[in-house]
Structure 1
Amino acid sequence: MLTLTNVQIVYDNTIEAVREASLALGPQQIVALLGANGAGKSTTLKAISGVLYPEDGEVKGGQITFEGQPLAGMTPDRIVRAGIVMVPEGRRLFDQLTVEENLLMGGYTRSVAESRLGLERVYATFPRLTPKRAIVSGYLSGGEQQMVAIGRALMSAPKLLMLDEPTLGLAPQICDEIFTIVTRLCRQDGVSILLVEQNAQMALSIADTGYIMENGRVVLDGPADKMLRNEDVREFYLGFGEGGSRKNMRDVKHYKRRKRWLS
């Protein structure tokens, strides 16, 4: 469905943010893309969405294809129409617009009838938004704003939904609710999910496949359940060392010096 092959992304023609990154995502799959801040995860999502240009970023090498068609040269609106939608980090709602107005902005590529059906789908997916449809989104809680952001993306009926840190800054109970909904969108509604998430254990617990990026490169990938048992993943991303003892952050930072996954 989605394939990245040896992708290189450069900013300002000088800074290599992603190098030779490859990954694949199939229909009705959840793929978790993990890594520390600055590893290249968000840049990868922006490249797929075609929105690197505001930051002077460019795909310099490799290929990104979706359903067999290359995305190179496609405008962001054409990529949305092809079925790929991203929910960016930080939600980025129109704070002065109501919940429903924000949702309708997500359906700009759809007809009026399709937008009405989209609203029904979003309110069914996020019932707590129904009584707040006329409330200005800036007054919502962080969790409710994240639901609006995901709902806005669903308005275009995506085949592939890309989520960039969907649980950032949210309470654990809300995180659980968001991940339950994301899982249902894939397993029941057939939407493929590419998930960038700092909570590695939660992400891998719902994913089919995981990829770990470091310094712009994919350094480890495999079935999510296997990665949850991987000693290095447990130590440096789940916070457990040998024997299940929790390590402190100073111990975890030792990872930066070991580089055991790099060739």
Structure 2
Amino acid sequence: MLTLNNVQIVYDNVIEAVRDASLSVDQGQIVTLLGSNGAGKSTILKGIAGVLYPEEGDIIGGTISFDGKNLIGRKPDEIVRDGIVMVPEGRQLFEPLTVEENLMMGGITRTRAAAAEALDYVFSIFPRVKEKRGTIAGYLSGGEQQMVAISRALMSRPRLLMLDEPSLGLAPQIITEIFAAVTSLVKESNVSILLVEQNAELALSIASYGYIIENGRVVMDGTPQKLMSNEDVKEFYLGFSESGHRRNMRDVKHYKRRKRWLS
């Protein structure tokens, strides 16, 4: 379905943000990208979606293909029509518009009849969004805004949905609700998910495969079971010490051992 092979991305022709990254997402999979801030995860999503240009980013090496079709150089709206949509970090709603107006912007590539059908579809996934359809988007809570952002992306009925930090700044109950909706999308609509998420434990709990990104390159990949059994993953991403106990924040802050994959 989606395949990245040795992708290299730079900003301003100088800063290498992604180096020889390779990954894949198959139909009906939830694949997660894990890594610290600045590791290159969001840049990978933007490269797939074709939205690097506002930040002077360029793909200078490798290939990105979707169902065998090259995505590099294609316009963002063409990639949406191909079936790939990204929900960016920070949600980025049109705050002066109503919820329904935001949703209809997400369906702009579809016919009026198809957009109306898609509206019913997203309301069935997020009933709370339906309740707020006439509310100005800027007046919603953070969790409600995230639901609207995902719903807006689903208006184009994508085959691959890319989520960038969907749990950021949200209450645990709302996070649970959103992630339950995401997993149901995969089971009921066969939508594939490419998920960037700081909460590694949460991401691995729903993923079928994962990649760890460090300094712009993939340093480890595997099933959630494989990653969660790795000592470095447990220590640096899940917060467990080598003895199996959770570390407190002071221990993590002062911990100096290098990750084994950087040795």
**Which TM-score band applies after superposition, normalised by the shorter structure?**
over 0.9
* C-alpha distance after superposition, 1:169-205 (max 9, x if no partner): 0000111111100101112110000000000000000
In structure 2, give the amino acid aligned to 1:83.
Answer: G
SS at match of 1:138: helix
Q: How many residues align?
A: 263
Structure 1 residues 146, 247: closer, same or farther in 2, change over 3 A?
same
Residue in 1 aligned with 2:85? 85
Within 2, Cα distance between the matches of 1:250 and 1:2? 40
Identity %: 69
Q: Say if 2:173 is the partner of 1:170.
A: no
Within 2, Cα distance between the matches of 1:228 and 1:149? 30
Structure 1 residues 145, 39: closer, same or farther in 2, change over 3 A?
same
Within 2, Cα distance between the matches of 1:75 and 1:256? 44
Q: How does 1:124-163 map to 2 (within 5 A)?
A: 124-163=124-163
Within 2, Cα distance between the matches of 1:55 and 1:257? 34
Within 2, Cα distance between the matches of 1:54 and 1:40? 16
- In the TM superposition, residue 132 of structure 1 has moved relative to its aligned partner by 1.2
Residue in 1 aligned with 2:57? 57
Q: Which runs of 5+ in 2 are unaligned?
A: none
Q: How does 1:180-199 map to 2 (within 5 A)?
A: 180-199=180-199
Within 1, Cα distance between the matches of 2:204 and 2:146? 20
- In the TM superposition, residue 246 of structure 1 has moved relative to its aligned partner by 1.4
TM-score by length of 2: 0.97
SS at match of 2:239: coil
- In the TM superposition, residue 249 of structure 1 has moved relative to its aligned partner by 3.5
Q: Is the 8 A contact 1:50 1:79 kept in 2?
A: yes
Q: Is the 8 A contact 1:205 1:225 kept in 2?
A: no
Residue in 2 aligned with 1:209? 209
In structure 1, give the amino acid aligned to 2:103.
Answer: L
Within 2, Cα distance between the matches of 1:254 and 1:30? 34
- In the TM superposition, residue 225 of structure 1 has moved relative to its aligned partner by 2.1
- In the TM superposition, residue 254 of structure 1 has moved relative to its aligned partner by 6.2
Structure 1 residues 195, 82: closer, same or farther in 2, change over 3 A?
same
Q: Is the 8 A contact 1:236 1:255 kept in 2?
A: no
SS at match of 2:260: coil
Q: Which runs of 5+ in 1 are unaligned?
A: none
Q: Is the 8 A contact 2:91 2:149 kept in 1?
A: yes
Within 1, Cα distance between the matches of 2:158 and 2:262? 35
SS at match of 2:243: helix
Structure 1 residues 254, 187: closer, same or farther in 2, change over 3 A?
farther
SS at match of 1:85: strand
SS at match of 2:94: coil
Q: How does 1:108-119 map to 2 (within 5 A)?
A: 108-119=108-119
Q: Is the 8 A contact 2:232 2:259 kept in 1?
A: no
Residue in 1 aligned with 2:240? 240
In structure 2, give the amino acid aligned to 1:201.
Answer: E
Within 1, Cα distance between the matches of 2:238 and 2:149? 27
* C-alpha distance after superposition, 1:67-112 (max 9, x if no partner): 1111111000100000000000000000000000000000000000
SS at match of 2:157: coil
SS at match of 2:226: helix
Q: RMSD over aligned Cα, in angstroms? A: 1.2
Residue in 2 aligned with 1:179? 179
In structure 1, give the amino acid aligned to 2:197.
Answer: E
